[in-house]
Every structure is written in C-alpha cells, then in structure tokens.
Amino acid sequence: MDLEPTQESSLLRDQDWPQKKKGPSPFWVVLYTLMGVGTFFFFNKDTDLVRDLLGLVPQKPVQEMVDATPLGPAVDWVEEKTQDLPNEGGWIAGNAEAFMAELESSVLPEVKKTAYDPSALEQSRLYTLDLEVKLSLTHSLCARLPADDCKRLSAYAARILSWYLDVSQSVRKGDRLSLIYEEIESEERFRILKLVYDSHFLKQVIEANYYRAPNMKYGSYFDESGRELFPRLRNHSAPIREYEAITSLPGDYRRGKVDGHHGTDFKAEVGTPVYASFHGRVTRTNWNRSHNGYCIEIVHPREGVRTLYLHLDRVMVRRGEYVKRGQQIGTSGNTGRSFAPHLHYEVRRLGKGGRIHNPFEFRHHKTHVRRIPSQAMDEFTSRVRHYDAVLQGKPFLQVRSETQKKANS
C-alpha cells in the first residue's frame, strides 16, 4: 500500500538517520597540496635530493646503457627460458625458507683447479669437481660455483643423466657427483670430459667419458668399453642424422608450463639436412612463424601420427606434396622462438589432442647404439685412463696412439 504524501510512516519515524559531517571540498584539498609541493621544490635546489624523492635516475648515454647490459647466449638449462610453442614448459614450487636454511647449513663441495700438461688436450684448462648432492643437482653446484657457471654445468650434466633418471624427481640427497670439465672457446663455455654419478635411486654408478673418434663429426659420451651412452635413431627414419647433442626430450621441465616439453631438440649447425621420418603428405608449412619459425607438418596415416619439424632454416616442400621416408624436406636452423641452432622434432598421434610420443620409444622408430671403431680404441682407452688420473689428482703421461700420430702428421 502506498503512503499518502501527508502521512508519515511509522517505519520512517522510528529510524535514526546519520548526520553527514561536512569537510573541506576536493577543490581546496588539491589546491593546498599543489601549493605545498611547489613551495618545497622552489626552496630546495638540491637536485639529487629531488631525484631520490621522485625515484628518478640520471640519464645515461645509450651506448653506455648497452655496454652495461650483460649479454650472452641462451643455453638449455634445467630451468630453461620458456618457449611458448609448441607447449614447452613445466612448473616447480618449493619452500623458500627451507631451501635457504639447507643452503646455509650445507657443507660446500671442494672445487680445485688441476695442473695439467698443455699438450694433452689441446692446451685446455681443466677443472675437477667432487660433491655430495644436497637438495638438487643445481642447488649443489650453485652452492659453490658462480650462478651462470653452475647452471650451465647442471644443464650439461642433466643432459647426460636424463637418459638414466629423471633429474628433477630421482636425484637423492647423498648422491655423489664427480666431474672433469674444461673451458672452451665457444658459446657453451664449458665441456664435461668425464662424469661419474653414484645414484642412490638407481643403486648404480653412471660413468660418461667424452671422446671424438676420427670418423665422427661431433664428440659424444661413452662408457669404459667404448659403447655410446645414448641411443640414436636409425638413418632411414631419423629426422636428422648429424647432430651434436640432444638437449631436450618430450616431457622435460620448462618454466611457466604445466605439461613439459613436447618435442625432441637436436642441437645441430644451421643448414644441417632434415629428412621426412616416414611416407606421408605435407599438411602445412610455416604456420605461427613468430614462434615456430620455418616449419613443416607431415601426416603419416600408416603409422597413425603426424610429425612436426620446427625452427628450420629452409623449407624444401609445399603443402599437399607427398614425400617418402628419408627424403630431404629442409635444413635445420635457428628461426622463430629459438635460443640456439637446433631442430625441434615432434611425433603426435593423429586426432584432436593427440598423444606426444618419445621418438626413442615409438615402435615405428628403430634405434641403435654406436661403438668406438676398433682402430680408435687404443686412443680412447688412453684418454679414459688420463681422465681417471686427473680425477684422482695423480700425474699421468698420455700415451699417443698410432691413430693420433697419423692424425697429427
């Protein structure tokens, strides 16, 4: 029922309405503030004080600002830079207070520079490192070495160990790591020459010896018997046949992403030939180029998968073209969102949201393991004995094999 204008509702009569307090109008507040600030700067001629209060910094010449910025090549750290496509990433959370407490209480590993005959390994500077793992591999190395050095070495060690264990999950407190590494004149700055890792999780010792035989374009890591530690895809189905290293596998951790890296990264020089893994039809090329760079997608109905080849330097096929297994389709490069020359290779099951396959476990990819040629075994054995002597801090006179003498003559 509506109330008559002349009637007064009992509800309204019984309520106490708060009285608004009048204050200065916004106009006067702004005016007084501006007058106060202006008066302060008029009487204060100290420009440094003014800069400090306003948070300003003196301007620098552009060249000086460029020179002061540390620039360096990106590397495939355990905690890598994010590559948004194709879905390369992961996320790690931790207790910062516990981490710092553990770090402060940790016994720092001993790092020593090893005296070495300059003629033995091309006048390289060798270092040895022996440590007990604490919270993680990276944490243990960074407890002693400079940040950039420890992250690089951690990434290089993880590349080797990743074929045997999940470095982010299976490293245990009390594991022991011994390294010989050298400084090199390249973007990577360091090369691991020998790695010995005593794993509590595996209950075994992993040993890796770096060696490059005369018939090899790139060096690799072998056990004491001369057997390469990592499998390789057979040439007839390999997307790339000459590569320096595999820097990432499907599922590897990437910062900022949940489901990990989706492909296999083959580190290779720009211009290295890239081949179709199986018979199929090219369905698209050069899509999303700002991230993928020059790229190719091929559908393989017989195998039930599609393969992707990203960051290419050159594309040699067109959309709709049929290709054969082993046919060259392009060359590897460093295009798109790529931090170093490499081929990103993916194997996906056909269909929406198709499963990502690890090519080294995919049934249509055949693998093999290389061995050092018999004519180079004397030199390799001598090199391994030398590594062992350096790791133990003992002097060693390298025995030059006939193969090495011929190579140097």
Helices in 122-274 by DSSP H: which ranges? 137-142, 147-161
Stretch 377-386: mean pLDDT: 93
Stretch 166-177: mean pLDDT: 88
Burial 366-379 (b: 16+ CB within 10 A, else e): eeeeeebeeebbeb
Among 49, 28, 31, CA closest to 40: 49
- Alpha-carbon distance of 332 to 313, in angstroms, equals 5
pLDDT at 382: 93
Predicted confidence (pLDDT) per residue in 32-51, tens digit = 777 775 665 555 544 444 44
**Cβ count near 274 (within 10 Å):** 26
Predicted confidence (pLDDT) per residue in 131-156, tens digit = 899 888 888 888 888 888 888 889 89
Predicted confidence (pLDDT) per residue in 327-340, tens digit = 999 999 999 998 88
Share of the chain above pLDDT 90, in %: 42
- Alpha-carbon distance of 340 to 269, in angstroms, equals 9
Share the mean pLDDT of the chain.
74
**Cβ count near 14 (within 10 Å):** 7
pLDDT at 28: 74
pLDDT at 390: 87
Stretch 390-406: mean pLDDT: 52
Stretch 161-190: mean pLDDT: 87
Answer yes or no: pTM beyond 0.85: no
Predicted confidence (pLDDT) per residue in 204-237, tens digit = 999 999 999 888 899 999 999 999 999 999 999 9
Q: β-pairing, 280-285 with 367-368?
A: unpaired
Which domains, ranges and CATH numbers included, belong to the chain? Answer: 108-230+369-409 (3.10.450.350), 232-367 (2.70.70.10)
* pLDDT over 70 (residue 285): yes
Identify the burial level of 139 via C-beta atoms within 10 angstroms of its C-beta, where 0-12 means exposed, 13-18 middle and 19 or more buried. middle
C-alpha distance from residue 361 to each of 71, 264, 347 (Å): 38, 12, 11
Are 229 and 160 a contacting pair, CB within 8 Å?
yes
* pLDDT over 70 (residue 348): yes
Predicted confidence (pLDDT) per residue in 254-276, tens digit = 444 445 567 899 999 999 999 99
